[in-house]
Structure 1
């Protein structure tokens, strides 16, 4: 009658029972099922014992296992969650695990990774046995491949606690599962050896059986233990001790750990060292943590992905959020972030990234910028524009040159995600100031290269206004690598220029560098001029090609299929790769070694046949230079090797020098000069603007008539003659003044390079007179240069940066 009010207790079980895992079979009294928590859907494992189909003896063993597992808490012992007994079934819920036999069969690791991982697994089981035998005074009595399980983090967990007994009790060698008798030690049937059994001898025999099964598969007969061909040589002596017929000669598990953790031991490897350090990270001091995290990144490639994702990465995030690990944890954390899917990355890594960008610590900001390429792809555009870019932009004005340089380089990765205003206004405003005012030649060079790399992301109208003026300004920089960067950037972005601009602005500017003191700059100039002339010649022969040549000028996403784009294949490779390694330009640019600091673009070495067949005739003339340059193998220096720019290369780091600062106290404060004060030196009487206060880019392409007051003012000798390197100086202030002397404008304006055109409202006689004066000045300057060269020749070789009178 009371059955109406009774209910099935299993309905109160907080876990859903899923599919059966068949691999345990007849090796356990339990049937293993996959399961989930009803509330959170978290995956678990559920061991099920069917009361109706098993004997009372089996039930006692199962109940003993539940009771024992409740009281055992250790990192290498299977974690108990819950249990429930009903009239029909006994449930035992644990963390989600797979049987070791299944895990090893599905393991796809390469040999080096697998060796490290198996050593870590055997170490964990040995540690668990040491805990039972020495700390708990217990014997496991059932150590074999069927009693070991592996969780999602790749950790080996000791289960199968059905036969656990105390060390005071007689050794439990009786198994209710007949198939497990093969794991019974030999002293079971030898009464003479019962008196020399130790508290750990039974379990050490089982550990020997487990080691054999890890490398050979399940054990079916004890005689197979003699076959040790597949067991690592490092484990050979230990294995012989474990399967010794004498129980007293089997070592204690604590002694095994101590011996194998010594240098050269089986448990002494990078994976075990790393995971043990992370387990004890809370008791490590700050210096130990920084040293550990700094050395961790190169080892991660040899660790299994599941261990990295579920074991190491959570520890790194915790160490960063709640510990004092510092910025050293960033490199390994971002490297492991690639293992996460989009949702996990947004949840775990992005909040850390946003928090880090708000840090005032320079070391943290520097590491973030260096690692940007590893996580930028996971960031949403809104997060980049609203939370990250405003913090990054502060680096453009940092007094530390290293931070400024890394900030410039970071724009390469940020550009595709930046909004119109952030990219076309804010970034270009900072670039204009850095290119004209920064006292580090390397930063000015990298600014030019970076502009060439992000050109495809700029708005077409902004691109037309900025690129030519910016690159021509770079071509007038006193720092040779900066001039070369300007030339190569023009070539790499040639598809964005109208042919009218090529003929009226670009070629005249390039021609002025044909007499550059640096041979490498001259070589780049001549290659680029030949390329541009080839385009013009082709269009002159067939005007219908003009449309295809200018197809990308007004497009937001340029096509690489037209002839204009394929022409500059070599230049694109040259300018879109490794950036110039920054130097103290007042020292390095005056060093004699700079006369051989650049080599030809890497892509000139082996031009593709498809590119040659589809491009214009100019390619033929350009590629003919490859053979001429092929003999100049000694004309390059690695510190200046920015011609072989490749997207997979690093940009290079700021090298410490007399003027380089490694902290905020470097003294290299950029932009400290008053932008409203008139510049020193000669130049056209134009308004000095730096693109900083007014943010005005429309003035970049002003008409010559609106800007020039007289022909002589527009074409002053200091502006039309080739740039001569200044005298050797040892401080940055002299270089800064020289830069200001050469570049009074601080926005990318190119008025002085505009061709002088006749205006109907201008007196033709004055124009003619101005042209004659200009020609006279050119001739005088040419004679002066020839005289200087002659004096250098007669006086012996002249070192770069020195002057001879």
Structure 2
């Protein structure tokens, strides 16, 4: 009947009261509880004063404390949110905090981070006392480890305002909790010394006690303050001044801040400097902001994660959205984004990223492209294709070479998330134009490098149509690093080529570069040729290996097992080994001498039936062929470090004339045509040496039938002319012979046709053609073996001799 009048008063409180925090049970008149705002997940702390467990005489003190905290607004003082008073209970809701004692016990930071963080915390409490003593003319009278709290941002907040008094009061209040008497200054029990009290003397004594407790733990006996062993030397002299028995000798908190903020002072470190700058960022000019943000990124690794995530990152986002911080803020903002979980990242960072890509400011666009790898993993494919890629694509046609170069590089990170049209049509259209027409050698080189790296993500039919023609075009480039990049790209993407294309298109194009004037290009060419020839020789000896060699040609998506075969892990010292798959025990038993033959690299993998479509191309140890190169003193590796193709220094540098590699010798100037014969060698006289009369049998009969079209999209295989390098003697990155930069396989003239609508029919045709090729090859092989046996019975034939 009377239940209405005895209902729980907490129902009128807008916050749910959770579990008790036990740390303050005998150190405060309050009980601290965890809390949450009703109807939301916002966490708060709820201080509860229950008259049932506390004497009624303390109620006035508690009410005054609530009123005092409500009126005190300072960044280093506990933030008041709400309160509720009833006849028996008083509730006080504040920001979510933990007692300092608990926080320090759970603090898991290494020594440098911990030192910076504690310095920041003591600075904040000193600043709060300076505000109370000097600006508010108030004494706190309760500074110790139990009156300090830490919020989620790692900020130390001064609470425990139950004993605040005016600086005009010449007497010190007695504590309601007897255990707090250990923090009372010496003048409390000496009326003569109380007359010498200053407005800050009692609080400075408390600050000295707090410093001791931070490094030693809670103070139980006042005599322990005489042992300062664990206190940093930078605070040594200040500590003794704070605990001076003469109240007048204790410093003012404002003076403490001034002294410790000087060079070499305890408060002078990167963390304090950074956080103070962010608090005052609104009054800083643009030059100061740019300098600050440019220097911030390297320091972030030394800052605690909670401070970075909850204090620095929100300030950076605010500074960018509402201030004039500019693009310099992007690098630290994206670096700190890794501390967020996926939901927070989508909420806080992704909207900024989408907004930034619309910006026309080149500096902003440049920094975004440079930082792309740090946030691309958090972007949804739909966001990338619909909102980001259309903005990025403008960079392919930018008049600034740096933007074009960075746009090309960015495709490596974007490719896994791009849809068919954006990747296989739009990107390749831009790549075709850049590779053929861009006036910067470095950009042409980087386009080839990037195409090789995104090859696993291209559609198989588009990949077969584009790669060989694009890389052969690069091998005709007058810029030596671009030619080298084309050769290396062919080697790195070898698993995507049909063996018929290797024989009819790739090897003829490579052979024309064996006379290249640049040694580094020649070295790459010879190694690549040896690898491809070894691959063909293996299949010639064992035709059953062809299917495994070509398993990746029609693979739609890159498999994890192929990760080792991508360009990122490719090294020139293992280039020949990379062309071949690891040899199984079955293959080794069929060809036990394979590893000992000089012309046959030593590993070849026979895939199992369950993994035909995802056969790997693994990078193995140096083969016997490479050992031979090393024994001959091959020094091509010393000219350029190929072992780190993912490093930034391996991209063409447009700022230095696009020079991707530092070639030995005189460089490009004065180089001769690599396609011309060596000096002193004229046309070969076949009639004189008898080669034209040699009867080679079926080897010269209908050679064109050996190469058959294996795909309805293979429309460029009909133009297999070997590349012709320019005749001009001066090869400058900015002086391109455009007659030769438009190859016969021009992917700009032949736009990419849509795929066949009936891939099943195409597959059946491919299978039928493949079977026919295998049958012809087996017959051809038997024919060759019979002829070889016949030649061995008639004895060796001298070069140039006519057969009778």
> Relative to 1, partners in 2 of residues 1:115 and 1:21: Cα closer, same or farther, differing over 3 Å?
same
For 1:2 and 1:749, the matched residues in 2 are separated by: 89
- 2:350 is matched with 350
For 2:519 and 2:529, the matched residues in 1 are separated by: 15
Contact 1:534–1:618 (8 Å) recurs in 2 = no
Contact 1:701–1:750 (8 Å) recurs in 2 = no
- 2:90 is matched with 90
Report the CA distance between 1:25 and its aligned residue.
2.0
For 2:455 and 2:343, the matched residues in 1 are separated by: 32
Which of 711, 715, 718 is the equivalent residue of 1:701? 715
Which of 565, 570, 573 is the equivalent residue of 2:569? 573
Report the CA distance between 1:630 and its aligned residue.
7.1
Report the CA distance between 1:502 and its aligned residue.
1.1
Contact 2:128–2:158 (8 Å) recurs in 1 = yes
Report the CA distance between 1:277 and its aligned residue.
0.7
> Relative to 1, partners in 2 of residues 1:173 and 1:6: Cα closer, same or farther, differing over 3 Å?
closer
For 2:80 and 2:579, the matched residues in 1 are separated by: 65
Contact 1:478–1:724 (8 Å) recurs in 2 = no
For 1:746 and 1:327, the matched residues in 2 are separated by: 41
Question: What SS does the corresponding residue of 2:393 show, helix, strand or coil?
Answer: helix
Say if 2:146 is the partner of 1:152: no
Report the CA distance between 1:321 and its aligned residue.
0.8
> Relative to 1, partners in 2 of residues 1:514 and 1:39: Cα closer, same or farther, differing over 3 Å?
same
Report the CA distance between 1:287 and its aligned residue.
1.0
> Relative to 1, partners in 2 of residues 1:387 and 1:651: Cα closer, same or farther, differing over 3 Å?
farther
For 1:370 and 1:390, the matched residues in 2 are separated by: 17
For 2:341 and 2:146, the matched residues in 1 are separated by: 33
Report the CA distance between 1:40 and its aligned residue.
2.4
For 1:625 and 1:560, the matched residues in 2 are separated by: 33
Question: What SS does the corresponding residue of 1:78 show, helix, strand or coil?
Answer: coil
Say if 2:164 is the partner of 1:164: yes
For 1:33 and 1:141, the matched residues in 2 are separated by: 24
Report the CA distance between 1:498 and its aligned residue.
1.1
- 1:262 is matched with 262
For 1:544 and 1:429, the matched residues in 2 are separated by: 38
Contact 1:433–1:747 (8 Å) recurs in 2 = no
* Unaligned 5+ runs, structure 1: 576-599, 661-696, 708-713, 752-805
Question: What SS does the corresponding residue of 1:98 show, helix, strand or coil?
Answer: strand
Report the CA distance between 1:618 and its aligned residue.
11
For 1:106 and 1:338, the matched residues in 2 are separated by: 23
Query: What is the correspondence of 1:485-564 to structure 2 with a 5 Å cutoff?
Result: 485-559=485-559
Contact 2:305–2:339 (8 Å) recurs in 1 = yes
Say if 2:17 is the partner of 1:17: yes
Q: CA offsets per residue over residues 322-375 of structure 1, 9 Å max, x none? A: 111111111111111111111111111111111111111111111110010011
- 2:756 is matched with none
- 1:244 is matched with 244
Query: What is the correspondence of 1:167-182 to structure 2 with a 5 Å cutoff?
Result: 167-182=167-182
Report the CA distance between 1:191 and its aligned residue.
2.9
For 1:723 and 1:499, the matched residues in 2 are separated by: 29
For 2:498 and 2:296, the matched residues in 1 are separated by: 51
For 2:179 and 2:404, the matched residues in 1 are separated by: 70
Report the CA distance between 1:614 and its aligned residue.
4.8
For 2:301 and 2:579, the matched residues in 1 are separated by: 35
For 1:123 and 1:6, the matched residues in 2 are separated by: 47
For 2:561 and 2:604, the matched residues in 1 are separated by: 10
Report the CA distance between 1:436 and its aligned residue.
0.6
Report the CA distance between 1:3 and its aligned residue.
7.0
CA RMSD of aligned residues (A): 3.0
> Relative to 1, partners in 2 of residues 1:620 and 1:653: Cα closer, same or farther, differing over 3 Å?
closer
For 1:274 and 1:418, the matched residues in 2 are separated by: 39
Contact 1:700–1:749 (8 Å) recurs in 2 = no
For 1:532 and 1:46, the matched residues in 2 are separated by: 74
Contact 1:234–1:266 (8 Å) recurs in 2 = yes
Report the CA distance between 1:625 and its aligned residue.
5.7
Report the CA distance between 1:86 and its aligned residue.
1.5
Contact 1:605–1:626 (8 Å) recurs in 2 = no
> Relative to 1, partners in 2 of residues 1:228 and 1:461: Cα closer, same or farther, differing over 3 Å?
same
Query: What is the correspondence of 1:154-303 to structure 2 with a 5 Å cutoff?
Result: 154-303=154-303
Q: CA offsets per residue over residues 4-63 of structure 1, 9 Å max, x none? A: 567543211000000111111201111100000103221000001111111123223222
For 2:434 and 2:712, the matched residues in 1 are separated by: 19
Q: CA offsets per residue over residues 734-783 of structure 1, 9 Å max, x none? A: x13x13345355824999xxxxxxxxxxxxxxxxxxxxxxxxxxxxxxxx
- 2:134 is matched with 134
Question: What SS does the corresponding residue of 1:701 show, helix, strand or coil?
Answer: coil
Question: What SS does the corresponding residue of 2:195 show, helix, strand or coil?
Answer: helix
For 1:226 and 1:354, the matched residues in 2 are separated by: 59
- 2:799 is matched with none
For 1:302 and 1:70, the matched residues in 2 are separated by: 36
- 2:738 is matched with 739
Using structure 1 for the length normalisation, give the TM-score: 0.78
Query: What is the correspondence of 1:267-416 to structure 2 with a 5 Å cutoff?
Result: 267-416=267-416
- 2:484 is matched with 484
- 1:595 is matched with none
Question: What SS does the corresponding residue of 2:162 show, helix, strand or coil?
Answer: helix
* Unaligned 5+ runs, structure 2: 584-600, 606-619, 660-710, 751-804
Report the CA distance between 1:499 and its aligned residue.
1.2
Question: What SS does the corresponding residue of 2:26 show, helix, strand or coil?
Answer: helix
> Relative to 1, partners in 2 of residues 1:609 and 1:257: Cα closer, same or farther, differing over 3 Å?
farther
For 1:556 and 1:444, the matched residues in 2 are separated by: 27
Q: How many residues align?
A: 668
Q: CA offsets per residue over residues 378-416 of structure 1, 9 Å max, x none? A: 100000000000000000011111000000000000000
Contact 1:26–1:179 (8 Å) recurs in 2 = yes
> Relative to 1, partners in 2 of residues 1:652 and 1:618: Cα closer, same or farther, differing over 3 Å?
closer
Q: CA offsets per residue over residues 451-482 of structure 1, 9 Å max, x none? A: 01000000011111111111111111111111
Question: What SS does the corresponding residue of 1:93 show, helix, strand or coil?
Answer: strand
Report the CA distance between 1:507 and its aligned residue.
1.1
> Relative to 1, partners in 2 of residues 1:750 and 1:389: Cα closer, same or farther, differing over 3 Å?
closer
- 1:632 is matched with 635
Q: CA offsets per residue over residues 521-559 of structure 1, 9 Å max, x none? A: 111111111111121122222222111111111012344
> Relative to 1, partners in 2 of residues 1:259 and 1:495: Cα closer, same or farther, differing over 3 Å?
same
Report the CA distance between 1:649 and its aligned residue.
4.9
For 1:747 and 1:19, the matched residues in 2 are separated by: 72
For 2:230 and 2:460, the matched residues in 1 are separated by: 66
> Relative to 1, partners in 2 of residues 1:618 and 1:368: Cα closer, same or farther, differing over 3 Å?
closer
Using structure 2 for the length normalisation, give the TM-score: 0.78
- 2:612 is matched with none
